[in-house]
């Protein structure tokens, strides 16, 4: 994740970059300070950008809630990746005439209170960002969503396993495979981290949690079900 990659960057950088670092589950490595661009990074670090498919996430939200007007999102502004997600979702909301209501947290214990504040602003769906702090406290949001028939939409397929009705995100398996291939090439001496650009993972992962969808008062359309892994 982003915090782990940042910690590795700081520790290995302080040690002179003697140990190669390959990251895989980082939403925005440039905002996180891991690289300047896809081709400009320290020679001992590289990886993949796991940027969520933002348009597809909002497409799914609008399919599940046809009358969708306002979305709510809880996030930790101190996480660089979270702000990237907020900015992207806000841009899509503006384009589609939707409202994005935001609530910030500093600790996972604050997720419930922040979710309640969004509930009071009349949101029709909760969007879960790729935010480690938010996801750590996601159970509190899911309980409130279940109690109030409001769907939880994740920007990561794994969010469906923790209570979202549906999660759409980067295929983390594919991201892990690429990290493994880079790691093997570096360890074998065939290449160095400097030889690999930081590129986005293009493949999409979709997961649906039918029990969560029922608890949140929504039905997942058949076309989404046909594409998704069923979990829960």
Chain segment 113-165, per-residue pLDDT in tens: 999 999 999 999 999 998 999 999 999 999 999 999 999 999 999 999 999 99
Burial of 147 (0-12, 13-18, 19+ CB in 10 A): exposed
DSSP state of 160: G
As given in the structure block, the two tokens for residue 207 are 């997961």
Task: Please write the tens of the pLDDT for every residue from 94-118.
Answer: 999 999 999 999 999 999 999 999 9
Distance (Å, whole) CA 133 – CA 136:
5
Extended beta strands in 8-57, E state: 21-26, 45-49
Distance (Å, whole) CA 232 – CA 161:
6
Q: With beta carbons less than 8 A apart as the criterion, state whether 32 and 80 touch.
A: yes
As given in the structure block, the two tokens for residue 150 are 């409001």
Burial of 33 (0-12, 13-18, 19+ CB in 10 A): middle
- Residue with the two structure tokens 């081709």: 39
Distance (Å, whole) CA 226 – CA 72:
27
Distance (Å, whole) CA 36 – CA 41:
6
pLDDT for residue 180: 96
- Residue 67 predicted with pLDDT over 90: yes
pTM: 0.85
Distance (Å, whole) CA 132 – CA 33:
17
What's the length of the chain?
Answer: 232
Q: With beta carbons less than 8 A apart as the criterion, state whether 194 and 43 touch.
A: yes
Contacts of 147 (CB under 8 A, 6+ apart): none
pLDDT for residue 135: 94
DSSP state of 153: E
Q: With beta carbons less than 8 A apart as the criterion, state whether 122 and 98 touch.
A: no
Q: With beta carbons less than 8 A apart as the criterion, state whether 36 and 187 touch.
A: no
Q: With beta carbons less than 8 A apart as the criterion, state whether 1 and 25 touch.
A: yes
CB neighbourhood size of 225 (10 A): 15
> Residue 82's pLDDT band (boundaries 50, 70, 90)?
confident
């Amino acid at each position: 994740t982003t915090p782990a990659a940042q910690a590795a960057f700081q520790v290995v950088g302080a040690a002179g970059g003697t140990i190669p670092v390959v990251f895989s589950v980082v939403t925005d490595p440039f905002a996180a300070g891991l690289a300047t661009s896809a081709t400009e990074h320290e020679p001992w670090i590289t990886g993949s950008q796991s940027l969520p498919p933002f348009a597809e996430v909002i497409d799914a939200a609008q399919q599940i809630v046809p009358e969708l007007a306002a979305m709510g999102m809880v996030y930790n502004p101190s996480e660089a990746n979270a702000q990237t997600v907020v900015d992207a979702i806000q841009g899509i909301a503006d384009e589609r005439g939707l409202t994005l209501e935001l609530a910030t947290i500093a600790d996972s214990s604050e997720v419930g209170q922040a979710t309640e504040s969004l509930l009071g602003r009349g949101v029709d769906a909760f969007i879960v960002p790729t935010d480690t702090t938010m996801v750590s406290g996601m159970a509190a949001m899911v309980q409130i969503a279940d109690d109030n028939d409001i769907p939880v939409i994740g920007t990561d397929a794994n969010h469906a396993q923790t209570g979202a009705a549906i999660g759409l995100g980067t295929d983390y398996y594919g991201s892990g495979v690429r990290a493994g291939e880079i790691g093997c090439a570096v360890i074998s001496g065939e290449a160095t981290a400097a030889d690999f650009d930081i590129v986005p993972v293009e493949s999409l992962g979709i997961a649906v949690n039918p029990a969560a969808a029922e608890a949140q008062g929504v039905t997942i359309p058949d076309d989404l079900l046909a594409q998704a892994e069923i979990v829960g």
